[in-house]
Chains A and B, each alone.
Chain A
Amino acid sequence: AQSVTQLGSHVSVSEGALVLLRCNYSSSVPPYLFWYVQYPNQGLQLLLKYTTGATLVKGINGFEAEFKKSETSFHLTKPSAHMSDAAEYFCAALSSNTGKLIFGQGTTLQVKP
């Protein structure tokens, strides 16, 4: 069965530091991949997605992610963290076989001043 693994349930960075949130997927067929952000008491907001084409995907709020087929990874990065980036981040994969979106367990990003 397809699965999505996010390494690290909590990540803490200082303001201005690099943000790296890790995501690995298991699938024999490269799925579509997504990163969502959830701010407290809000729904999920799409940050970026990879479907086909360029493997480096740019999203909103300065985030980007790179699809690496050989590593089955889709890590999320941002060069410089802002306090407003503190939230929970979910990686998700869409199986072309089932049409279902599979979410990782989420990573809480803490940004320290």
Chain B
Amino acid sequence: DSGVTQTPKHLITATGQRVTLRCSPRSGDLSVYWYQQSLDQGLQFLIQYYNGEERAKGNILERFSAQQFPDLHSELNLSSLELGDSALYFCASSRTESVVEQFFGPGTRLTVL
């Protein structure tokens, strides 16, 4: 158990819908990272927040957004969902801004029908 929690574990929804994935970092970690893992794209970095502020952006679509709240939990919002958004979404956290030692959560499996 990495100490990073993600909810829900599974999510099934329809095209065009909007969903919110939630992540709670390990106690004391200030950075949160979001990744998408799909069969065709592999594991891709989406976005990083540090202490409430966006720090780095990867291959995140405009339909996707994220935020980190004062209690340091983070939410990833996915809107206008398409079939191709079906994937495993991982959250990771680290103590500092550096990604050198990050710990991954168990992931949320999103299925878009």
**Chain A contacts to B: CB under 8 angstroms:** 32, 36, 41-46, 49, 51, 90, 94, 98-106
Contacts and interface: CB of A to CB of B under 8 A. Distances in A.
Contacts of A42: 106-107
Interface string B55-90: 110100000000000000000000000000000001
Interface string B91-113: 01000011111111111000000
Given A32-B100, A99-B98, 13 more contacts: A36-B104, A42-B106, A43-B90, A46-B102, A51-B100, A94-B99, A100-B45, A100-B99, A101-B45, A101-B99, A105-B42, A106-B42, A106-B43
A99 B56 contact: yes
Given A42-B106, A43-B105, A90 B100 contact: no
27 contacts: A32-B100, A36-B104, A43-B2, A43-B4, A43-B90, A43-B92, A43-B106, A43-B107, A44-B43, A46-B103, A49-B100, A51-B100, A90-B43, A94-B100, A99-B56, A99-B98, A100-B56, A100-B99, A101-B33, A101-B45, A102-B45, A103-B42, A103-B43, A103-B44, A103-B45, A105-B42, A106-B42
Contacts of A104: 42
B30 to A, nearest CB: 15
A99 B99 contact: yes
Contacts of A43: 2, 4, 90, 92, 104-107
